[in-house]
Structure 1
Amino acid sequence: MAEYEACIMGICATIERKIKMLEVYGDSALVIYQLKGEWETRDPKLIDYRKLVLELVKEFEDITFHYLPRDENQMTDALATLASMIKVNKQEDVKPIRMSIYETPAHCYNIGEGKEKEDHPWYHDILQYVKNRKYSDQASKNDKRTLRRLAIDYILDGEILYKRRKDQVLLRCVDAVEAKKILKEVHEDVCGTHANGFTIAK
C-alpha cells in the first residue's frame, strides 16, 4: 500500500503543477504492472488504490508507467542517502528540500559546440556502448548504469545513431556542427519559408 500511496502523492503533486505529460518510474513491479494493466489486482486493499490512480490519470494528456529496479534508480539512492545524513529532533520543524525543475532535459545543455570534448559529439558515450558495449575509462558504476538505461532507447543503423521515441519515430542524433547546418537550411535555402514555430520544429 505504501508504494501506491507514494505514487498517488507524486501524481497529485504533478497535477497541482498543471503538468500534462508525465513519465512515472517506480521500483515496485507490483504497482507498475498493475497500473499498466499487465497484472491483475486481486488484493481488495489495493483495488481502491488502483481505481484512484486511474481516476487521476485522466488529468493528463499522456502518462506512461515504467518499472525501474531499485538498484538502477539513482534518484531514490540519492534521496535515501540525503535522508540518512539529516538528524531531526521531534521538537524541530522539518524544512522542505528545495528542488529546481529545468524546462529542458539536463543532457541538452551539453550540446553546445564549445562543450563537445575532443571532437566527440554529445552522444559519443551512448554510441560507443550501443556499438561495442564499451564504457569510457572514467565511467563510474553509476555512470555505467545510467548509460545502460539511456541506451535502451537508441539504435544504430550503420554509423548513424537514432533515438527511438515512444511513437517509434526515429530521431537522428547530430552533433553541434550538423545541428547548425540543419538550422541554417531550415531558415534559408531549400526550406526558406516564413512558417510558424511549430511547423519549423516539426
Structure 2
Amino acid sequence: MGATPYSLVYGMDAVLPVELRIPSQRVMMEAGLPEFEWAQARYQELHMIDEKRLKVLYHVQRYQRLVEKAFKKKVRIRDVKKGDLVVKFDRAPVYDHRGKFRPNSLGPFIVNEVLFGKAVRLLDQNGETSTEPINLDQLKKYYA
C-alpha cells in the first residue's frame, strides 16, 4: 500500500521532535518557505550546531581539568631510593584464622634496585632478592 501505520491511523506522516527543532526539507515544504530561505535557515542551524559542539567540548575539557586538579590533591608522591626500608601491602585474599585482625603488610624490605616505570626490586632481611619487580603503589616507607 505504501503507507505507514501512523499515516493510516492519523491521516498524516509522523514528524519527529528533532525535525521541529532542526527543520527538515519536508517540514519546510509544508510550511511553504521557498527553497532559498530553507537552505539559508538550514545552513544557519548547521552553523549553530558546530558552535554548540565547541561549547560542549570546552565544558568537558574544563570539567576534566577540575577532576584532574581534585585527584592530584590527594596523590602522594612515593619517592624511594636504593637502600630505603619499605613495607609491602599484603592484598592477597589468603585464608587466615585471625580474620580481620591479620597484618595487612609484610616486611620490612630493603630497596635493592629502582626500575624505570615506578617499580622496584626488593631485598628481604635475609638478603634474598625478589625475582619480580613491585610497583610503588604497593609499598610504603618504613621508619625504624
The structure having more radius of gyration, on CA atoms, is 2
TM-score computed with the length of structure 2 as normaliser: 0.20
Which structure dedicates a bigger proportion of its chain to helix?
1
TM-score computed with the length of structure 1 as normaliser: 0.15
Which structure dedicates a bigger proportion of its chain to strand?
2
